[in-house]
């Protein structure tokens, strides 16, 4: 069995380990999106600071702690994120397809029903 890809990047005052998510990791991430804990609130900064990833997802791909993520400057995280994108290109492609599918579903629900002939 081949080892998953792993890289290091210097950021946040240390070497940050970036790992390739396994298929199981990606399934767990997706399951967490569809069934979030009842007490989970939406953190706008976590979800929207970066266009294509949430801070929690960066945490899944690195050995950064939640405190380190919170204390990091966006520019430091951007350097880490570049490495995350390289190592986890399949995850980012899946996430993009899911976002597109979700947008299309929302658009179709918002569209007025077709006029009936009659």
pLDDT digits 0-9 by tens, 4-13: 999 999 999 9
Residue 6 falls within a domain, yes or no?
Answer: no
Please give the average per-residue pLDDT across 81-105, as a whole number. 93
Confidence class for position 97, pLDDT limits 50, 70, 90: very high
Which pLDDT value is given to residue 14? Answer: 96
pLDDT digits 0-9 by tens, 14-63: 999 999 999 999 999 999 888 766 666 788 999 999 999 999 999 999 99
Residue 102 falls within a domain, yes or no?
Answer: no
CA 83 from chain centre, in angstroms, equals: 13
DSSP secondary structure, 10-36, as one string: EETTEEEEEEPPPHHHHHHHHHHHHS-
Q: How many domains does the chain have?
A: 1
- Smallest CA-to-CA distance from 85 within 2, 3, 1, 9 is with 9
Residue 101 falls within a domain, yes or no?
Answer: no
Which pLDDT value is given to residue 42? Answer: 80
50: helix, strand or coil = strand
Please give the average per-residue pLDDT across 64-80, as a whole number. 96
Residue 57 falls within a domain, yes or no?
Answer: yes
Which pLDDT value is given to residue 103? Answer: 81
Residue 51 falls within a domain, yes or no?
Answer: yes
Residue 71 falls within a domain, yes or no?
Answer: yes
Residue 56 falls within a domain, yes or no?
Answer: yes
According to DSSP, residue 62 is labeled B
| Cα atoms found within 13 Å of the Cα of residue 93, Cβ hemisphere only | 5
Q: Which domain holds residue 82?
A: 15-23+43-88
Confidence class for position 118, pLDDT limits 50, 70, 90: low
Residue 115 falls within a domain, yes or no?
Answer: no
User: Where do runs of H (alpha helix) occur along 1-118?
Assistant: 23-34, 44-48, 55-61, 66-71, 74-87, 89-110
């Amino acid at each position: 069995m081949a080892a998953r890809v792993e890289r290091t990047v210097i950021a946040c005052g240390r070497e940050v380990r970036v790992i390739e998510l396994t298929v199981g990791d990606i399934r767990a991430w997706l399951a967490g999106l569809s069934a979030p804990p009842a007490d989970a609130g939406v953190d706008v900064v976590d979800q929207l600071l970066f266009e294509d990833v949430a801070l929690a997802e960066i945490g899944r791909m690195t050995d950064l702690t939640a405190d380190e993520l919170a204390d990091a400057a966006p520019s430091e995280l951007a350097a880490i994120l570049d490495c995350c994108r390289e190592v986890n290109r399949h995850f980012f492609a899946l996430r993009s397809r899911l976002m597109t599918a979700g947008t299309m579903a929302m658009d179709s629900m918002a569209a007025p029903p077709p006029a009936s002939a009659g």
